[in-house]
Amino acid sequence: MTEIFRPAADAPPAEPVVVAIDGPAGSGKSSVAKQAARELGYGYLDTGAAYRALAWHALAHGADTSDSTAVLDVSGDFDYAISLDPDAYWVRVGTTDVTEAIREPRVTDAVSGVARVPPVRESVNALFRSLVAHSGRPGVVVEGRDITTVVAPEAPVRILLTAAPEVRAARRSAELTSHDAAAIAEALHRRDASDSKVVDFLTAAPGVAVVDSTDLDFDQTVAAVLDVVRATLRQAQRPVGARSETDGDGGAR
């Protein structure tokens, strides 16, 4: 699997503030995390995109994503790149822009098979940490399925963003207007059931704040997340949405 970010050998690792956001499919993690990153002046890392991109890559090569060996074989030439800019977001596999393609239902159905392979998760999780550490930004909002417990368990801000299943299905249906609402609800249910065998993304670990957006609109959900971020960093006496004046390399300390 190709590493997508290689910092210069003489560049000291940055120490950005990490805002870790977990949650089930359809909870609004991506859109909320991206907007929160904009308002904080942070980078944005969609970790699910890596697994989706690998699933797309596997399908493009005719691999059976339910076969761990096949997934490992095809991951050997997985050339992946992602933007951390919330205002210029893209995902590429090799020279192909797959930003939209990885959201297709066929890819969604294949993601769990890819994500459940332990060596793949270990490699991808290490990649996430490297991307964050060398982002050159004062902070990065990282969202996904096991961010608060596995990828960034020591993050100063950890949030579980959730919502009632019927609300999540309705929101996803609104996004995918060309798909049947009942089919979308069933797909979300299958995805949750499959992914829950790999990670627990429905229960907040100790120290993780819960933001339930069931009765909140988008702006209210973003505001609730920002309230948690600012209150937590203020309590920890960390910079909020700005670079430290004494930090010359752009990291927040």
| Structure-model confidence comparison of residues 213 and 13, the more confident one | 213
DSSP H helical segments within the chain, as ranges?
A: 29-40, 48-60, 68-75, 105-115, 118-133, 165-175, 181-195, 218-235
The residues that bridge with 18 in the sheet, in sequence order, are 140
204-230 average pLDDT score: 93
Is the confidence at residue 218, as pLDDT, over 70? yes
Is the confidence at residue 142, as pLDDT, over 90? yes
Mean pLDDT of the chain: 82
79: which residues sit within 8 A by CB, 6+ positions away?
A: 2, 93, 94
CB atoms closer than 10 angstroms to residue 234: 11
Q: From 3.30.70.3270, 3.40.50.2020, 3.40.50.300, 3.40.50.2300, which CATH number describes the 17-235 domain?
A: 3.40.50.300
The pLDDT value recorded for residue 27 is 82
The pLDDT value recorded for residue 245 is 36
pLDDT in tens, 31-78: 999 999 999 999 999 999 999 999 999 999 999 999 999 999 999 889
The pLDDT value recorded for residue 188 is 62
The pLDDT value recorded for residue 195 is 55
Most confident range, picked from 12-21, 55-64, 204-213, 242-251: 55-64
Q: Residue 129 has which token pair?
A: 């940490």
- Contact yes or no for 161/28 (Cβ under 8 A): yes
The pLDDT value recorded for residue 128 is 93
Is the confidence at residue 223, as pLDDT, over 60? yes
Q: Residue 162 has which token pair?
A: 């959730």
The pLDDT value recorded for residue 187 is 62
Mark the binding-site residues for ATP, compressed into ranges: 23-31
Mark the binding-site residues, compressed into ranges: 23-31
